[in-house]
Structure 1
Amino acid sequence: MLNPVASHGALTDTERFMFESWGYLIIPDVLSAEEAQQCLEASVRIHREAKTEGFGQVGRGYESEPALERLMDHPAVLPKIRGLYGDRFIMQSGWNTKQPAFGGMGGWHQDGSGAYNFNKLSFPFIPLVQLRASFLLTDQSQPRMGNMELIPGSHRSQVPLPEALRKEKGDLPIGHVICAKAGSVLLFHNAVWHRTYAHDGDYDRYTMHYIYSPPWVKPSDRLQNSPSFLERTTPLRRALMGEFSRPDAPYGANYDPPPFDDGNGA
């Protein structure tokens, strides 16, 4: 199986071409086994506290779990975000998902907003409004381990996925089941058609998703930032949370980029 595998750090020209062609990249070995285990334990805690049953999705876990907070600006991943967006973007949301043991097949979909779908923003292609970095926290090195399945290049399709296929959760011969170890990251465009693949294991599958967007997009996991979190976190993470000074509203003028540690920030 072909895989759009990327290295750690800055986005290369080849990786940009792969992303534009396929709509996603796979970054292996972002987290060590110990780091992935710490994040997994944090994920179990936040879902236990949220009392999720069956498939569960919990936001803002980064506020209470340092292991998850550190993923927000991970040096293996954040340079890819900058390579695709430039220096001005926010962390729109951070969702931790649990697929339960023996979980079934999910439905095909694109990421977006039911209130105002992203396909209304541009024609013929849906623009990059949500760039998702999914940190795999349980092993998905074989199919049917709660993997993500994507349709390569579907973010450039000018026709929607057939409704019958979506309704029946049917298979496509070009569906790509992502097989990667815990600690890997899947980076993908909001318009790529995707779904959760079946999970045959007797354990819950966990993934931490960080979603990055243009700075004018409203956060979706919070109505406002936690003052206590902002007080204790780093300046870069505060900027990624959207806590920056705007010289003109609504974004009529530029603003200083986040304080990246390579000397190119404000």
Structure 2
Amino acid sequence: MLEPVVAKGQLTETDRFIFESWGYFVIPNVLSKEEAAEAYDVSQRLHESRDREFGQIGRTYESEPALERLIDHPDVLPKVQGLLGDRFVLQAGWNTMQPAHAGNGGWHQDGSSAFDFKDLGYPVPLIQLRVSYLLTDQTVPGMGNMELIPGSHRSRVPLPDSIRQSKGDIGIGHVICAEAGSALVFHNGVWHRTFRHDGDYDRFTTHYVYSPPWVRAADRFGNDPEFLERTTPLRRALMGEFARPDAPFGANYEPLPI
């Protein structure tokens, strides 16, 4: 089985080629087993008051150090910088739960239903770069994996409604199989869905979405002042708390302090 696996750290020319061709890649062993387990326990606690159905909680990084550390993980952030350049922000952070014995999710592209990204141009522009940290082993299909359609961010036609409405299968779907602690990095234009989960435990994945600095945040209306006070300068900048230049996002806008 072909797998778009890349090494940690700086974005290489090969990494870029894989991303441009497939629309995503996987970075193994970003988190240790202990770090993934700690983040899993935190996620379980955050979701314990919710109904046991698929759902996500935003801005969990503000209150949970184990999740805050992932905002600028040194094994992953260089990939984000390589793909987006020196000026980007954390547009959203979502901690997602898929309950045990859940079926397939619906096929979709990431973006804004208020103004679909595909309406901006062809190919669909990279507006949201998502990094998904796997907090459970997903080494075989049926463990709450992500399923993506390679190269679909460059398709001129949408996924057929018949497949979307039925949550049906498609022969070119790629079920990501990776160990806990791996990170999946993917383009907002790639068609994807949550694959079924046959296990007896809830599956948690924590997502970080990076965007150009002019994109409005999706998980918050504003940043928590207490979080900004105690976090690092780089993380403050990633939250969009940078000095405004003489013209918004124009001259004198400094790159991130990476």
TM-score, normalised via structure 2 length: 0.98
CA–CA distance in structure 2, aligned partners of residues 236 and 147 of structure 1: 31
Q: Give the counterpart of 2:241 among 235, 243, 255.
A: 243
Deviation for aligned residue 1:52: 4.1
Q: Report what 1:59 is aligned to.
A: 58
Aligned pair 1:40/2:40, yes or no?
yes
What are the Cα deviations for residues 101-144 of structure 1, in whole angstroms up to 9, with x where unaligned?
Answer: 0011011100011111101111x211000000000001101100
Q: Report what 1:8 is aligned to.
A: 8
Q: Report what 1:163 is aligned to.
A: 161
CA–CA distance in structure 1, aligned partners of residues 7 and 252 of structure 2: 31
- Point out 4+ residue stretches in structure 1 off by more than 6 angstroms: none
What are the Cα deviations for residues 8-58 of structure 1, in whole angstroms up to 9, with x where unaligned?
Answer: 000000000000000001000000000001111111111125x24311100
Secondary structure class of the residue paired with 2:8: coil
Structure 1 stretch 243-252 or stretch 72-81: which is displaced more? 243-252
- How many residues are aligned here? 258
1:2 aligned partner, one-letter code: L
What are the Cα deviations for residues 131-162 of structure 1, in whole angstroms up to 9, with x where unaligned?
Answer: 00000001101100000000000000011111
Deviation for aligned residue 1:250: 3.1
CA–CA distance in structure 2, aligned partners of residues 134 and 216 of structure 1: 22
Unaligned runs of 5+ in 2: none
CA–CA distance in structure 2, aligned partners of residues 99 and 230 of structure 1: 30
2:104 aligned partner, one-letter code: M
Q: Report what 1:117 is aligned to.
A: 116
Q: Report what 1:137 is aligned to.
A: 135
Q: Report what 1:196 is aligned to.
A: 194
> % of aligned pairs identical?
67
CA gap 1:246/1:140 in 2 versus in 1, 3 angstroms = same
Q: Report what 2:179 is aligned to.
A: 181
Unaligned runs of 5+ in 1: 261-266
Aligned pair 1:219/2:223, yes or no?
no
Q: Report what 2:149 is aligned to.
A: 151
CA–CA distance in structure 2, aligned partners of residues 84 and 148 of structure 1: 21
CA–CA distance in structure 1, aligned partners of residues 108 and 252 of structure 2: 34
Secondary structure class of the residue paired with 1:92: strand
Q: Report what 1:76 is aligned to.
A: 75
What are the Cα deviations for residues 189-233 of structure 1, in whole angstroms up to 9, with x where unaligned?
Answer: 000000000000010000000000000000000000000000000
CA–CA distance in structure 1, aligned partners of residues 248 and 113 of structure 2: 23
TM-score, normalised via structure 1 length: 0.95
